[in-house]
């Protein structure tokens, strides 16, 4: 009996060993993930970005701020955006940024992250989650850091919020493997080159838009659509999805277990 079983066991062992060497890391590294995201709940995103994304069948992440007019006046529209497969992401409740950094004269005194505590930021993230769950019924969502500022009244607030969001934009993989670009006022060619010019090691490209064909820090409709056309023509190289879906796909891979 033992003689009969031995070859079978060896084959099985080799099979498992081969499986460990191949997927999922090898499969995951074949493609580059592209997260198209749209911050601040701007009306031009509803008017221009959403129809363009839907026409190509791409899902994206919209990082909403529940106190912004572009949220308060369009709650029904954002709920529909979520129902069509896009992610409603957390971008804090009032979008505080630090006033003490260069070029921040626009920061309101009442919304200054130099004086808002880390604990208060945690409350903002929880409040925003509750508001967004009311629109999309989802329990998990990702977070984009307003202005990229991580110090709240001098304290890094990110450790306090990690249990309240699925992931933080730009912090799922190492900085060599995950990049953030935030284009505005760029040509179609320049926008596409932000995708094509990335080093081979990069596995997630986060593109952060604000206005699309309107509002501020805008990218033109023409450039935005040209990028979508490029991504649609290169689906074998680039996987476009919500940041939530990308993170969940990578979390099933051993390749990111160490981050």
Report the interface residues with Zn ion, using CB under 5 A. 39-40, 146
Nearer Cβ to Zn ion (40/149) = 40
| Cβ 23 to Zn ion shortest distance, Å | 37
| Cβ 82 to Zn ion shortest distance, Å | 19
| Cβ 159 to Zn ion shortest distance, Å | 21
Residue whose token pair is 């060896």: 10
Residues 6+ apart with CB under 8 A from 70: 40, 41, 42, 43, 45, 46
Nearer Cβ to Zn ion (94/245) = 94
The DSSP line for 168-196 is BTT-SS-TTTEEEE---S--HHHHHHHHH
Nearer Cβ to Zn ion (69/137) = 69
The CB-nearest residue to Zn ion is 39
| Cβ 253 to Zn ion shortest distance, Å | 30
| Cβ 40 to Zn ion shortest distance, Å | 4
Residue whose token pair is 């074998």: 236
121, 151 contact by CB (below 8 A) = no
| Cβ 70 to Zn ion shortest distance, Å | 11
Task: Tell me the two tokens of residue 64.
Answer: 């909403």
CB burial string 153-185: b at 16+ within 10 A, e below = beeebbebbeebbbbbbbbbbeeebbbbeebee
Nearer Cβ to Zn ion (89/213) = 89
Nearer Cβ to Zn ion (33/143) = 143
Nearer Cβ to Zn ion (151/188) = 151
118-136 vs 75-83: helix crossing angle, rounded to 10? 70
Residue 171: closest CA among 122, 197, 126, 204: 204
């Amino acid at each position: 009996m033992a003689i009969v079983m031995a070859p079978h066991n060896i084959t099985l062992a080799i099979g498992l060993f081969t499986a460990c060497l191949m997927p999922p890391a090898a499969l995951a590294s074949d493609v580059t993930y592209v997260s198209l995201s749209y911050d601040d709940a701007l009306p031009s995103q509803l008017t221009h970005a959403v129809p363009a994304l839907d026409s190509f069948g791409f899902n994206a992440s919209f990082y909403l701020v529940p106190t912004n007019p572009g949220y308060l006046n369009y709650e029904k529209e954002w709920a529909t955006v979520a129902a069509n497969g896009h992610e409603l992401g957390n971008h804090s409740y009032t979008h505080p940024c630090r006033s003490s950094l260069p070029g921040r004269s626009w920061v309101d005194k009442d919304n200054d992250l130099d004086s808002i505590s880390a604990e208060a930021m945690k409350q903002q993230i929880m409040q925003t989650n509750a508001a967004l769950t009311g629109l999309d019924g989802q329990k998990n969502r990702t977070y984009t850091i307003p202005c990229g500022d991580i110090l709240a009244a001098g304290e890094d607030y990110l450790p306090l919020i990690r249990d309240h969001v699925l992931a933080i934009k730009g912090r799922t993989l190492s900085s060599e493997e995950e990049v953030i670009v935030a284009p505005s006022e760029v040509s179609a060619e320049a926008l596409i080159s932000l995708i094509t010019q990335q080093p081979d090691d990069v596995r997630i490209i986060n593109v952060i838009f604000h206005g699309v064909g309107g509002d501020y820090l805008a990218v033109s409709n023409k450039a935005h659509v040209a990028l979508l056309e490029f991504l649609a023509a290169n689906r074998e190289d680039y996987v476009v999805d919500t940041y939530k879906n990308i993170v969940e796909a990578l979390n099933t891979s051993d390749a990111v277990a160490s981050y």
